[in-house]
A and B are shown apart, each in its own frame.
Chain A
């Protein structure tokens, strides 16, 4: 854990305080609430090396074959009976 100071917009601060009061009955858990919200948003900058995954099948793959793969793949997974 790192202790720091952040500047929040007035309205956001009010909302966070209200939420903390509702959920924890105290504003002392504001950091916990902000940590949770940031994790849930999934919008933090991503880390790690990115390798572009490109493959060759060794044969031409048509638009129709891809549509069929999407449909049949899903249907195979959910096993529609209708």
Chain B
């Protein structure tokens, strides 16, 4: 199966003492084709900096994502921006949540399940008939 991955899954997989590390590792092992929107890679970099992770480790993590055979980095295109903007208006939320909507739009447009630990994003998936991977 293929699946769109949210930033929190990658962080939980990467950090061994994260609360959901085992769930992230076990979940990712079940996915044949892992799709990572470019916005997730950006979020990952800023989140790791926020957690005071060194630049060297961040660089190595990005290289790992780029080189792993079953991982595909998905570009955000005009359809995703249109859909994400519609969802912002529809759900009456701030554009501060635009990244979440972009990630959701990749799953929604491609009709692909989304793997996330973010409960808000899970709820949005259900509203938009996007399957949540668990």
Contact = CB atoms under 8 A, between A and B. Distances in A.
A37 interface: no
A50 B47 contact: no
A71 to B, nearest CB: 8
B20 A46 contact: no
Chain A binding site: helix, strand, loop or mixed by DSSP?
A: loop
B124 interface: no
Contact of A74 (B15, B47, B53, B67): B47
A63 B49 CA distance: 17
Interface of A: 42-43, 45-63, 66-70, 72-77, 80, 82
A63 B117 contact: yes
Contacts of A58: 17
Interface of B: 7-8, 11-20, 42-43, 45-51, 53, 57, 60-61, 64, 66-69, 72-73, 94, 96, 99, 117-118
Contact of B15 (A46, A56, A72, A76): A56
Contacts, number: 94
A54 B25 CA distance: 11
B14 A70 contact: no
Contact of A46 (B8, B61, B68): B68
Contact of A73 (B13, B18, B49, B57): B49
A55 B16 contact: yes
B46 A66 contact: no
A66 B57 CA distance: 17
B5 to A, nearest CB: 13
Given A42-B72, A69-B11, A69-B51, 8 more contacts: A49-B67, A51-B64, A57-B15, A63-B20, A66-B117, A69-B48, A74-B47, A82-B96
A53 B60 contact: yes
A43 B73 CA distance: 9
A55 B68 contact: no
Given A45-B69, A51-B60, A70 B47 contact: yes
Contacts of B68: 46, 50
B17 A61 contact: yes
